[in-house]
Structure 1
Amino acid sequence: MIYAIGTDLVELNRIKTMGIERFKSKILNDDELREYEQINHENRKLTYLAGRFAVKESLFKCFKSGDKTANYKDFSILNDSNGAPYVISKYTDDYLCHITISHTNELAIAFVVLETKV
């Protein structure tokens, strides 16, 4: 059964304006930083950051009635061997978490569905 859905849209220029290094340190946890550092193309690094930010904002929207203590680094958004994103977090342990991320040259979008485990 679906517990919650969330979506978020991010402008890539917003991240550039904030500063990629500053944004990276605010949003990514250690596991994500390891993935990020393996990326060689600068534009791909930008879309990686924007996508992770969009997923985390989407997750916050899913937990709108939660205790409000989670922060960006409490969620690891990693890629499996096929490149599909997945989440690791104590906040999602009780749910199946379905994630999709997409981007263009200007925008990144994420959509999250939390499903209760049966």
Structure 2
Amino acid sequence: MIKSIGTDLVKLERIKEIGIEKFAERILSPKESVVFKTITNELRKLTFLAGRFAAKEALFKCFKKGDLTANYKDFEILNDENGAPYIESKYTKELISHITITHTEEFAIAFIVLEYAEYK
């Protein structure tokens, strides 16, 4: 049974204007930062950040108001051995999450579906 869905669209230029490194410090968890620091291509760094930001914003939309204590670093968007994104968070432990992220030269978008684990 679906608990909620969320989506977000991010303009890459917005992140660029803030500053890639500054933005990374603001939103990435420690595990995400490790991955980010291995990326050498600036465009790839930008799309990585934009995708993570879109995913985290989509998660906030999934939780509606939530308890208002969560922040960007409370959600980790990692990749499995096949490159598919997945979510790690204390807020999603009791849920099954489905996530997709994609980007163009101008935008990144993420779509998330959260479902109750007991109904699977």
**Shorter-chain TM-score tier:** over 0.9
1:65, CA displacement in angstroms? 3.7
Q: Indicate the residue corresponding to 2:81 in structure 1.
A: 81
Using the TM superposition, give the Cα deviation of residue 63 of structure 1 relative to its aligned residue in structure 2, in angstroms: 0.5
Percent of residue pairs identical: 64
Pairwise CA distance, 1:17: 0.4
1:38 deviation in Å?
1.5
**Separation in structure 2 between the aligned mates of residue 25 and residue 65 of structure 1, nearest angstrom:** 24
Map 1:1-118 to 2 at 5 A: 1-118=1-118
Moved over 4 A (4+): none
Q: Which moved more, 1:39-48 or 1:54-63?
A: 39-48
Distance, in Å, in 2 between the alignment partners of 1:21 and 1:35 is 13
Report how many aligned residue pairs link the two structures. Answer: 118
> TM-score by structure 1 length?
0.98
TM-score by length of 2: 0.96
5+ residue gaps, structure 2? none
Query: 1:8-55: CA deviations, max 9, x gaps?
Result: 000000000011111000010110001111112110110000000000
Question: Could you tell me how far apart the structure 2 residues matched to 1:71 and 1:14 are?
Answer: 20
Q: For the residues of structure 2 that align with 1:15 and 1:43, how far apart are their CA atoms?
A: 11
How far apart in 2 are the matches of 1:72 and 1:51?
13
